[in-house]
């Protein structure tokens, strides 16, 4: 079927990212770089964070909290992403920009997520960040969630490691959280 967006991103989030890109890249900044990844991301992906202390078992995913929005950018083989958070007064604020291997892997994961979603009922695409475990994944939320890690030291030590669906993702993070604590 298709990937849908169930939550409304910040109204001025795209403008905040464009302004930050101009500040950081100067003339090189191109507003058309926003979106264009496989998930048709003129709109960003919501970013959810899961804290180490919240991870006990596979049901712990329910404790993930929305913390911001990630804008994917792709142009001529170059990948980047920008994060926007919403301040306490409700205004979007630029948080970070990544133009590195993680951005390339996120782009690969986004392309894979689009392919995977074709075989699923309607689902929502999210980003799941688990900073304490150094893991980030695209999370396709539906009856049975699908996870595509793009940052994971245990799985992606090799720079040539392939991005793939991880059917044991929730089990792995629960085990790693127990080991980390």
Other beta carbons within 10 angstroms of residue 161's beta carbon come to 12
- Given a cut of 80, whether residue 139 has pLDDT beyond it is yes
Instruction: Give the pLDDT score at 36.
Output: 46
Of 181 and 169, more confident: 169
Tens-place pLDDT, residues 17-71: 877 777 776 655 554 555 444 444 456 899 999 999 999 999 999 999 999 999 9
Instruction: Give the pLDDT score at 38.
Output: 43
- How many percent of the chain have pLDDT more than 90? 44
pLDDT band at 77 (very low <50, low <70, confident <90, very high): confident
Q: Where along the chain do its domains lie? A: 3-180
Tens-place pLDDT, residues 80-116: 899 999 888 888 888 988 888 899 899 999 989 989 9
**Burial label, 142 (beta-carbon count in 10 A; 0-12, 13-18, 19+):** middle
The model's pTM: 0.83
């Amino acid at each position: 079927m298709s990937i849908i967006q169930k939550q409304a991103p910040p109204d001025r989030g795209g403008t905040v990212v464009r302004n930050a890109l101009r500040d950081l890249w100067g003339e090189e900044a191109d507003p058309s770089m926003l979106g264009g990844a496989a998930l048709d991301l003129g709109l960003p992906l919501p970013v959810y964070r899961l804290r180490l202390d919240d991870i006990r078992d596979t049901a712990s995913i329910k404790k993930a909290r929305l913390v911001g929005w990630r804008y994917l950018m792709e142009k001529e083989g170059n990948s980047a992403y920008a994060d926007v958070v919403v301040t306490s007064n409700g205004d979007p604020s630029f948080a970070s920009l990544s133009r590195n291997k993680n951005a390339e892997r996120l782009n690969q994961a986004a392309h894979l997520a689009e392919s995977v979603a074709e075989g699923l009922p309607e689902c929502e695409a999210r980003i799941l960040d688990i900073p304490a475990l150094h893991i980030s994944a695209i999370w396709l939320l539906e009856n049975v969630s699908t996870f595509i890690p793009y940052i994971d030291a245990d799985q992606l030590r090799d720079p040539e490691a392939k991005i793939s669906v991880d059917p044991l993702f929730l089990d792995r993070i629960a085990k790693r959280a127990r080991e980390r604590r």
